[in-house]
Amino acid sequence: MAENLDKSGGERRVQESMEITLRPIELSDADDFMVWAADDKVTRFCLWDTYTSKEQALNYIKNCAIPHPWLKVICIGNRAIGTISVTPGSGFDRCRAELGYVLSYKYWCKGIVTRAVKMVASTIFNEWPYLERLQAIVATDNEGSQRVLEKAGFQREGVLRKYSVIKGKTKDEVMFSLLSTDSFV
């Protein structure tokens, strides 16, 4: 009981300051993970289907997220409210990596993902010196995500027509990139 009160009081305090941190994901994040992964409003633009069980979340965290080359949870007060990841290319494509992110719906439109993206952009090129290009591919109807990337200093390169299949429909996608030589906003 006291713990619940403490959490809700903690959330109120944190929302005022909105300090966000990035940290590695843990299995204990599974319940928080389900808050966004089980939400159709969030998964609407994702390639993957809405999660329906905590088992799925635990499986994903253990088998995909923890071994991922670069995946962090976005936290407020150490509680996960989303994830951000950088997936490197290999071979001929090793000069580039793809940025991905997802955020719990109630935290949308507060500039949180923009801040998280800027945090990643300011360190990833140092962590991976062979990386020259960070790119992000966003559906043309996902305006919120396009704004994130523009505010974070990414350059819009063009629209890739019918590039992906999302929830059974072919989608046009916008390609954005940030180079190691670009100056960040």
Partner 1 sequence: MDPSRITLRGFRPTDADDLFSWAGDDRVTRSLRWKTLTSNQEALTFIKEVCMPHPWRRSICIDDRSIGFISVFPGSGDDRCRADIGYAIAVEFWGKGIASKAVEMAIPQVFRDFPEIVRLQAHVAVENKASQRVLEKTGFSKDGLLRKYSYLKGRIHDLIVYSILSPEIEVLPSHSC
Residue whose CB is less far from partner 1, 165 or 185: 165
Token pair listed for 100: 């991905």
E strands, 17-154, in order: 20-24, 71-76, 79-88, 96-103, 133-139
92: Cα separation from own chain's centroid: 25
Give 102 or 112: the residue with its C-beta nearer to partner 1: 102
By CB under 8 A, residue 159 contacts partner 1: yes
Question: Is residue 115 within the footprint of partner 1 (CB under 8 A)?
Answer: no
Task: Using CB under 8 A, pick the residue from 93, 127, 184, 185 that binds partner 1.
Answer: 93
Name the residue nearer to partner 1 (CB basis): 55 or 157. 157
Q: How far is the CB of 177 from partner 1 (least distance, A)?
A: 6
Q: Which residues of 154-167 are buried (b: 16+ CB within 10 A; e: fewer)?
A: beeeeeeeebeebe
Residue 171 interacting with partner 1 (CB under 8 A):
yes
Helix (H) or strand (E) holding 17: helix 2-17
**Interacting residues toward partner 1 by CB under 8 A:** 47, 89, 91-96, 132-133, 135, 155, 157-165, 169-172, 175, 177, 179
